[in-house]
Each structure stands twice: as structure tokens, then as C-alpha cells.
Chains A and B, each alone.
Chain A
């Protein structure tokens, strides 16, 4: 619609100019000719714009599917909610816990919110396990398995940071630091869900387990939670936010896209593989 309006406006402008120059009104055939010229020009410009857009799009790779990005989003919301409602229980003597429970929300509300967070975490865990069964998930879990190469990548990377070696190790789809974080998350979620369920359903837990198991679960829940939160605000914050490459935020996990530049820098082996696959596909 906008294009036809544009086309009509340009046609009328051109007609007006021509009429002034010729000092006579254009006849129907001439007008038709002007209209065709305008249309052809607009079409050309539109095609050029699409080409430019396509060219910029090519600079990006799709790193994560929308499904995967959504998993991360739900996970992030649940973990933030769990931390906000869990920390004041662990540090109940602190002034901020006191403030929270006396002025913001009651302990009972806090428990409810913590359980909402826990439900989201369990939901995303089940969702993720289901996703791992899909073609995409099966490929990713293979890529995520720890390999001996990861250890040597780590050593090589430290050497590179220290300046002992001049070459950065080449990472595949998942670098050792990403694999480490993934498996730390898997382990942490397993511990938190297992111990958390015992605390949530303590009535049932106390019927089947000795009290000392319950006490261990409580202590592990508290310890693992603090470890996870500290890992998030150091390791994860650095890799996803404060690292100069991506500061202030690495949007890849939200948009699923990664630039060609970062792809070549951060995942050169995956980049090479994708390029090989594309070349093969084109040959066929």
C-alpha cells in the first residue's frame, strides 16, 4: 500500500516537473511512460535493499534454536527467583533478610515464591531432557560431552593468556568453559532439585529417610546454592557480560544469532565445519 502511494506521489512530481519544462500538459501515453519509469526505478531500489539486508544476514550464524533460547530464559527467571528467595533464608541474621521479611513480603510468601521458582526449574529440567531426545538435542549433547581435547584446550588457553604461547586454542561448537558451565549446571540442578524436593515434601521425606539424611539434604541445598550463585556472579557474569568481547551483554542466548566475526574467533572449528558442509551442499 505504502509502495503504491509512494509510486503515485513520485509520478505526480515527475509529471509536474515535465509539464513545467515542456509548458504543456502530458498526454495519456506520456503519463503511462512516466509511471512505468518510476515503477521500474522503485523496483530496482527495493531489490538493492533486499540484497543489502541479505548480505548483512549472511554475516550471522544461527547458534541456538528458539526452543533452546526459551529454555535459557525460563532457567534464568527461575534461578533469579530462587536466589532472591533462598539467600535471605540462608542469611536470616542479616539486615537485608530482616528488611525483606518485615517490609517486602512475609516468610510464607517467600516460601511460595521459592516453590514457584523451584517448579520452573524442574519444568525446564524436564523440558531440556525432552529436548535432548530431538535431533537438535542429540547433536548438541554429543558436542557437549567432555573430551580430552577440552583439558588440553584449557592448558593451551592459560598458556595463551600468560603469553607463553602466541596462539589461541581453536574451539568447536562448545569451548571447555561452556562445557564446564553446562555440566556444573546439570550437577547443580540435580543436587538442588533432589534436596529441595526433600525439604519441600519434608513430611514424606521424614517418613522414609532418617533425620540425618534430611539434615544432610538441608546442608547440601544451602551449600550448593551458594556455590551456584557465586559461580553465576563470577564465571557466568564474566563470560556473558563483563568480558570485553561481549560487554555489556552477549545477546546470542536470547536471539540465537552469533556474528561471523565472533563465530570465527570463538568457535573456529564449528565455523570451518559449517563452511565445509555448505560447500558440499552447493556441489550436490
Chain B
């Protein structure tokens, strides 16, 4: 009899434990309210905010093993005694969190960004984390269903920046992306993800002194450029040009990549709409050099004098290189010879 009782107790404990294990701890939140698609709250007269959570989406997200209350930490009883606070991703995603929430793109710098500043100012249209990452359906940026997956980024940003999005889609980068070229530049490649600063901020990837380096991340990458058949030395040549030198040493009005190439609507030089199409160059250069004529199109661009691709300029470079080597060698040899001659004659006269 004792044995039977003991077995019964043990099985009850075990079964109830198993039952708890199988039962989702988030189930209460869902069963009670948040699984109901019609659950909403009136935020203003006639304006409703949905409080529905698509739990299937949540279970497919990176946070699938998290409990509701791990983020909504102020929720302790049901029904809520007061309206739960807005949560912030930086609760977990900060540098040095021992739990190990990923911070690969320094989300804390978001607060300093144009978007973060706008939120701080109370701009109702300013995007918070959730506008790009979604709320409960957060997926890794490597997941093709994620709004921050490379191919989806332009669309995600475009949901607010609609005009820029349409311009981008026409550009070489947008066209390539639409053809499935994942390494084509998307918004975040130039603008950064979280530390997105206005171009006049020295920290910005699009500050005049940083533009060339930003483009160089791809345009100086031999592998990417070879795969796409794009010339590789453009950025290096720019940095050697007077425009590049002037920018480097603080003359910010000097031309950088985007002064001539445009930015969102970057087009091939073969495209007649492009500012760098030979027929449009006079006008493009004319933005800064009012006298520029069609002559500016007669010659190669982005030349490195020491590179045979520079054409005639390469030959001028070679001419002077050899002239300098020959003449300087001659000068030094002549001086050595003259000194030798003086030494000889001095020796002779002192002996004689």
C-alpha cells in the first residue's frame, strides 16, 4: 500500500512537472488576451492601437526562447495594474551585457543618430528600433525574411523615405540589387545602420572627408569589383588628385565622389541621364568650374600617372621619371669626378 501511494505521488509530481515543461510559460499572456486579433486599446478618441501579438511570428524570431516578461519586466500580474511601460531594446542590447545580447552594430550609438535625435525631440515620424527590426518578429539580418536582410533594407528604409527609394531603385546599385546581386550597395552600406549621422557631422560616413573611404569599402575591394567588372583604382586615383588632396587637408568645398556621381541615383557613365555621361560632364564640372566646356570630356578620368591606363599622362610621367634618374645620376657622377680630380691634383702638387 505504501508503495502504491509513493508511486502515485511520484507520478503526479513527474506528470505535473512534465506538463509544466510542455506548457508554454507565455501561454497565459496569450490565452488571456494577446492572441486575440481584435484586442486593441483606444489611444485617442476613435484611434485604436492593436495589442495583438502574432505568436507564430514570435516563435520564428530570434527571441523565440524569451519570456514575454523578460522584456516587459514591469508586468507582474494579470490583468495589468497599470499600463506597461514602453520597452527599449537597449535594456539588453548594450555593450558588456553578460547575457550576451548581440551588439555587433553598436545600437547604443543609435541614440546619437539623426533618428535617435528626432525621437528625442519628440518627432512622431522618427523611427525607433522597431520600425526597422519589427516588434515581435525580430529576425537575424541573415534571414531573408528579415526587414534588415540586405535585399530588404532599401524597402525598409523606403517605407519612410519613399522618394529616395524610387531614385535608388533606378541607380546602378538598386538595379543590381533587384537582379539579385546581394553585394550591391544598399542604404546601410553608405549611411551606416545605427550611427547614422548627418553629412556635416565629422562622425558621419558621408562627411565630405569620409565619402571616398565609404565608397572605397566596396570600390577598393578587388574581389567585389572584379566580380562586377567595375574599375578598381577610382578611389585611389581620386585621393591622388587635387580634389582628393584638398578634401584630405580640410578644403571641404572640394569635390568628392558624390559631387559628380550623385548619390541615391548613381548611374553608369553610359547612361545619358547620368551626370558623368560625356555629354553631361560640362554641366557637372560647371557646378564648381563655371567656364567648363565640353573639353572636360576629352580625356580620361580617375587616372594614376604611374599607371599605363593613364594613357599620354603615363608617358609624360615616364619621360620625367627617366629624365630625373638620368640627370640626377649625371650630376652626382660629375660632382664625384670633379672632387676626385681635385684630390688628384692636390696630391700631385703637394708631392711636386
Contact of A107 with B323 in the complex, beta carbons under 8 Å: no
Interface contact B324-A230, CB-CB below 8 Å? yes
Is there a chain A Cβ closer than 8 Å to B169's Cβ? no
Q: Give complex CA distance A227, B320 in Å.
A: 8
Binary contact readout A197-210 vs B (1 if CB under 8 angstroms, 0 otherwise): 00000111011111
B337, A212: Cβ atoms closer than 8 Å? no
Q: A231 at interface (Cβ–Cβ under 8 A)?
A: yes
Which residues of A sit under 8 angstroms from B344, Cβ to Cβ?
161, 163
> Hey, which chain B residues are within 8 Å of A203, CB to CB?
289-292
Fill in one digit per residue for A146-184: 1 if any B CB lies within 8 Å of its CB, else 0.
000000000000101111000000000000000000000
Complex Cα gap A128–B343 (Å): 38
Report how far A161 CA is from B320 CA in the complex, Å.
Answer: 30
Is residue B158 contacting chain A, with contact meaning CB distance below 8 A?
no
Q: Does A130 contact B (CB under 8 A)?
A: no
Tell me which residues from 296 to 352 in chain B have a Cβ below 8 Å from any Cβ of chain A.
296-301, 303, 305, 310-313, 316-317, 319-321, 323-324, 327-328, 331-332, 334-335, 337-342, 344
Does A216 lie within 8 Å of B316, measured CB to CB? yes
Q: Is B46 among interface residues, defined by CB-CB distance under 8 A?
A: no
A163 lies within 8 A of B245 (CB): no
- Closest B residue to A220 by CB, please name it: B316
Given contacts A107-B251, A162-B341, A214-B299, whether A206 and B285 have CB atoms under 8 Å apart is: yes
Cβ–Cβ < 8 Å partners of B331 in chain A: 230-231, 234-235, 238
Total number of residue pairs linking A and B with CB closer than 8 Å: 119
Q: Counting CB contacts under 8 A, is B246 at the interface? A: yes
**Is B245 within 8 A of A89, CB to CB?**
yes
**Min CB–CB distance B78 → chain A (angstroms):** 64
Name the residue on B nearest A245 (C-beta).
B342
The reply on A243 being an interface residue by CB < 8 A is yes
Q: What chain A residues lie within 8 Å of B328 (beta carbons)?
A: 230-231, 234
B298–A210 CB distance below 8 A: yes
Q: Mark A225-237, 1 if CB is under 8 A from B, else 0.
A: 0110011001100
In the complex, the answer to whether A210 meets B316 with C-beta atoms within 8 Å is: no
Decide: B327 and A219 in contact? CB cutoff 8 A. Answer: no
Q: Is the C-beta of B47 less than 8 angstroms from some C-beta in chain A?
A: no
- Does residue B22 face the partner (Cβ distance < 8 Å to A)? no
Once the chains are docked, how many angstroms separate the CA of A107 from the CA of B311? 29
A212–B341 CB distance below 8 A:
no
Bound CA span A182–B250, Å: 39
Complex alpha-carbon distance, A72 and B242, angstroms:
31
Partner of A224, one of B251, B295, B320, B342: B320
A-B contact pairs, 7 of them (CB 8 A): A206-B285, A208-B293, A210-B295, A216-B316, A222-B320, A230-B328, A234-B331
Chain B residues proximal to chain A, CB less than 8 Å: 242, 245-246, 248-251, 285, 289-293, 295-301, 303, 305, 310-313, 316-317, 319-321, 323-324, 327-328, 331-332, 334-335, 337-342, 344
Q: 10 more A-B contacts (CB under 8 A) besides A207-B293, A215-B313?
A: A107-B250, A162-B337, A203-B290, A206-B296, A212-B313, A216-B313, A220-B320, A226-B324, A230-B328, A243-B338
